[in-house]
Structure 1
Amino acid sequence: MKILAINPGSTSTKIGLFEGTTELFEKTLRHSAEELAPFGAVVANQKEFRKEAILAALEEAGVKASELNAVACRGGVLKPIAGGTYKVDDAVIADLLEAQIQHPASLAGIIGKEIADENGIEAFFTDAPVTYELSELASFSGHKAIKRKGRFHALNQKAIARKFAEEQGKKYEDVNVIVCHMGGGITVGAHMGGQTVDVNDAVSEGPFTPERSGDLPTRELIDICFSGEYTHAEMKAFIQGKGGAFSYTGSIDMREIEEKAEAGDAEFKLVTDAMAYQVSKQIAAMGAVFGGEKVDGILLTGGIAYSKYITAEITKRVEFIAPVTKFPGEVELEALVLGTLRVVNGEEAAQTYA
């Protein structure tokens, strides 16, 4: 069974062709700012451009679209939904096209369904970024006017949790794990009974990241908002884009920050240690979510999990809770394909978006 996986980013489209679980090829299609400029701010305008690039890459690899059996798409900007694999249907496309937030991930379903329809097959998406499985208690923010959003790296977190469970000879639904994804955003999720019952929001909560502020003292933040020094848009950038490690060091590259720390820069080392400290606190807080049940493992993933220093600092602080295992990087294309295969092979039913 040949499955095409599609994962668009802001200036690239990552694709992979799989024969079952075996990857036949993977390619990242780069799109320059000049190429994307004519399409404006509406990402759906890029559909034909990116679709042609995908089909050309397949043809270059000697594969015809008619040979495909399914298309596995990254989830886009939709209503909050439970995790799992969904068929990309007309309702999904309608919401992707009408989404207020313009995110390139939405192109995957739009392009994927078109390719699928043209070849008489189905398109699916798995564990979308809008996956929402917070327990009722976890949904409380502390003020009735605000409900926690719980946006997180659902695709990679759940894929890593499944991989760990498989290594233990168990199903995802039968393990209790804390998964920490560390990249441009950092999310720490408590996975219990096959659901992410609590997780910090990737944009507005949790540890600071290379470019996001995470939790901030509320009163001080209010004062800054009304100081007259920042516009609304600038305050958004204050917490996402120009926050976190960038606000302290002027860099969003944790490899560069860590290299300078290792070279003896005391300020850069302090920022690195502070990030590891905050991540450790978030992991420890998630330990309480399980209500005394055994935590089977703490799983560190994402690009920052390649750092031996940061993962070691986190491990020594949290290994009293459960054994720590590293799964550096991400497995998003593989996760999309595995989700599609679980449905096609009858291991689970495709969920319906409504």
Structure 2
Amino acid sequence: MEKVLVINPGATSTKIAIFSGTRRIFLKIIEHGLEDLARYEHVIDQFGYRYNLLLSALADAAIALSDFDAVVGRGGMLQPVESGTYEINRDMIEDLKLASRGEHASNLGALLADKVSGDYGIPSYIVDPVSVDEMDDVARVSGLSDLPRVSLSHALNGKAIARKAARHIGGRYESFNIIVAHLGTGVSISAHRNGRMVDVNNAQEEGPFSSDRCGTVPSYRLAKMCFSGRYSEQEILNKLMGSGGLSSLLGMKDVRKIEELANSGNKDADLALRALTYQIAKEIGALSTVFNGKLDGIAITGGLAHSDRIVKDIVSRVEFLSRVLIFPGEDEMASLALGVLRVLRGEEEPKKYKGTCKIEKPA
């Protein structure tokens, strides 16, 4: 049975999992204190710190790294790429170190996996990074030529859930039209047509608002705000991502607490939650036009899918479009492992990252 090591660095933790085939046999979550991370000016500077903790955790569990068939890291903010499983190479490592598309903890995933690969002779991969870009040309166009739409999304979970939804419907992912609504700290809603994610909102700058992100806001008034002299550039950026959404509306971002307030009669909390589900449902409805209404399924996933109220409100607005499937939470570790297993089992060929939008297809 194939043995795969999975490494998933997040903002304040590094998750490590071991899979024997499709079965997870080990999970370790290494928490990183804010005071420890504060010592590093840039995310990339955390590499040595996180790698040593990874080795210590595996040593404490008496796990020998030489026993693995492959290691996979979470993909980071790379240049736009097609969906798939990618061999980690020098172009990828250099792009992640440069961080031209932004700093993010996920950028460390490939670097950590590559280090394991170099030290222990194990093939290393990433799967469906956030920069997966399969958008139709027409979907890229915005109303301002300077600002084309960009595909940055929860591609790993979105693709995995689309495949799972296809199995529930009764066929292959490549055969169906599916909308996936990933409802987490950010909300990304994607349209999957015959195995490609042909449209998706960039959860950092458009679409429905979320717990701490603004989503789409009135652009003219935003421009006036930017040049009002009242805010610095960083303050504006923080308003859009970090202190927007529910945080801006209610001063809190914990959806469970907000739901408790709404259920106890707090009108502001109730309105904010109704607006959240309204915007999500409206985005799903808009994406249904991508398929000319020929939609095979809608999948709702992510942390907010644990909320019966949120799911019920969304379903009530979109169930006329197609069947709705609910997959609460996310399982990025399994999604990463499954991507590598498809390669190890010869079900798909690994792709080679070339940077700047260039993909070398398998021979």
**Does the CA-based 8 Å contact 2:10-2:106 persist in structure 1?**
yes
Q: Which residue of the partner structure matches residue 82 of structure 1?
A: 82
CA drift at 1:37: 2.7
2:98 maps to a residue whose letter is E
Q: Which residue of the partner structure matches residue 17 of structure 2?
A: 16
Alignment of 1:99-118 (within 5 A): 99-100=99-100, 101-118=102-119
CA drift at 1:267: 0.8
Q: SS at 1:352's partner residue?
A: strand
Q: SS at 2:228's partner residue?
A: coil
Is 1:35 the counterpart of 2:36? The answer is: yes
For each residue in 1:168-219, what CA deviation from the matched residue of structure 2 results, as whole angstroms up to 9, or x when unmatched?
3311111111000011100110000111101111111101111111111111
Is 1:251 the counterpart of 2:252? The answer is: yes
Q: Which residue of the partner structure matches residue 262 of structure 2?
A: 261
1:89 maps to a residue whose letter is N
Is 1:341 the counterpart of 2:341? The answer is: yes
CA drift at 1:44: 2.1
Q: Which residue of the partner structure matches residue 282 of structure 1?
A: 283
**Does the CA-based 8 Å contact 2:212-2:241 persist in structure 1?**
yes
**Does the CA-based 8 Å contact 2:66-2:122 persist in structure 1?**
no
Query: d(CA) in 2 for partners of 1:252 and 1:345?
Result: 42
Query: d(CA) in 2 for partners of 1:192 and 1:339?
Result: 19
CA drift at 1:15: 1.1
Q: Which residue of the partner structure matches residue 70 of structure 1?
A: 70
Query: d(CA) in 2 for partners of 1:316 and 1:152?
Result: 25
**Does the CA-based 8 Å contact 2:83-2:133 persist in structure 1?**
yes
For each residue in 1:276-334, what CA deviation from the matched residue of structure 2 results, as whole angstroms up to 9, or x when unmatched?
00100000000000124x21111000000000001000001000001111101001000
Query: d(CA) in 1 for partners of 2:352 and 2:115?
Result: 19
Q: Which residue of the partner structure matches residue 184 of structure 2?
A: 183
CA drift at 1:60: 2.2
Q: Which residue of the partner structure matches residue 214 of structure 1?
A: 215
Query: d(CA) in 2 for partners of 1:29 and 1:253?
Result: 23
Q: Which residue of the partner structure matches residue 241 of structure 1?
A: 242
What RMSD, in angstroms, separates the aligned Cα atoms of the two structures?
A: 1.0
**Does the CA-based 8 Å contact 1:18-1:24 persist in structure 2?**
yes
Q: Which residue of the partner structure matches residue 358 of structure 2?
A: none
**Does the CA-based 8 Å contact 2:93-2:111 persist in structure 1?**
yes
**Does the CA-based 8 Å contact 1:150-1:202 persist in structure 2?**
no
Q: Which residue of the partner structure matches residue 165 of structure 2?
A: 164
Unaligned residue ranges in structure 1 (runs of 5+): none
Q: Which residue of the partner structure matches residue 49 of structure 2?
A: 49
CA drift at 1:36: 2.2
**Are the structure 2 counterparts of residues 61 and 168 from structure 1 closer, same or farther at C-alpha, using a change threshold of 3 Å?**
farther
Q: SS at 1:41's partner residue?
A: coil
Q: Which residue of the partner structure matches residue 153 of structure 1?
A: 154
Q: SS at 1:198's partner residue?
A: strand
Query: d(CA) in 1 for partners of 2:209 and 2:43?
Result: 29
**Does the CA-based 8 Å contact 1:75-1:108 persist in structure 2?**
yes
CA drift at 1:52: 1.6
**Does the CA-based 8 Å contact 1:141-1:148 persist in structure 2?**
yes
Q: Which residue of the partner structure matches residue 298 of structure 2?
A: 298
Query: d(CA) in 2 for partners of 1:112 and 1:266?
Result: 48
Is 1:94 the counterpart of 2:123? The answer is: no
1:47 maps to a residue whose letter is F
2:352 maps to a residue whose letter is T
Q: SS at 1:166's partner residue?
A: helix
Pairs aligned (count): 352
Query: d(CA) in 1 for partners of 2:37 and 2:228?
Result: 37
Query: d(CA) in 2 for partners of 1:241 and 1:77?
Result: 18
Query: d(CA) in 2 for partners of 1:255 and 1:41?
Result: 33
CA drift at 1:123: 0.6
Unaligned residue ranges in structure 2 (runs of 5+): 355-363
For each residue in 1:150-180, what CA deviation from the matched residue of structure 2 results, as whole angstroms up to 9, or x when unmatched?
2110000000011111233311111111000
Query: d(CA) in 2 for partners of 1:276 and 1:234?
Result: 27
Q: Which residue of the partner structure matches residue 331 of structure 1?
A: 331
Query: d(CA) in 1 for partners of 2:78 and 2:50?
Result: 21
Query: d(CA) in 1 for partners of 2:38 and 2:265?
Result: 42
Query: d(CA) in 1 for partners of 2:299 and 2:99?
Result: 33
Query: d(CA) in 1 for partners of 2:348 and 2:109?
Result: 22
**Does the CA-based 8 Å contact 1:41-1:102 persist in structure 2?**
no
Percent of residue pairs bearing the same amino acid type: 42
Q: SS at 2:137's partner residue?
A: coil
1:328 maps to a residue whose letter is P
Query: d(CA) in 2 for partners of 1:176 and 1:41?
Result: 44
Query: d(CA) in 1 for partners of 2:201 and 2:286?
Result: 10
Q: SS at 2:138's partner residue?
A: coil
2:321 maps to a residue whose letter is I
2:227 maps to a residue whose letter is F
Q: SS at 1:159's partner residue?
A: helix
For each residue in 1:56-94, what CA deviation from the matched residue of structure 2 results, as whole angstroms up to 9, or x when unmatched?
222222211111110011001211111111000111111
Query: d(CA) in 2 for partners of 1:163 and 1:26?
Result: 22
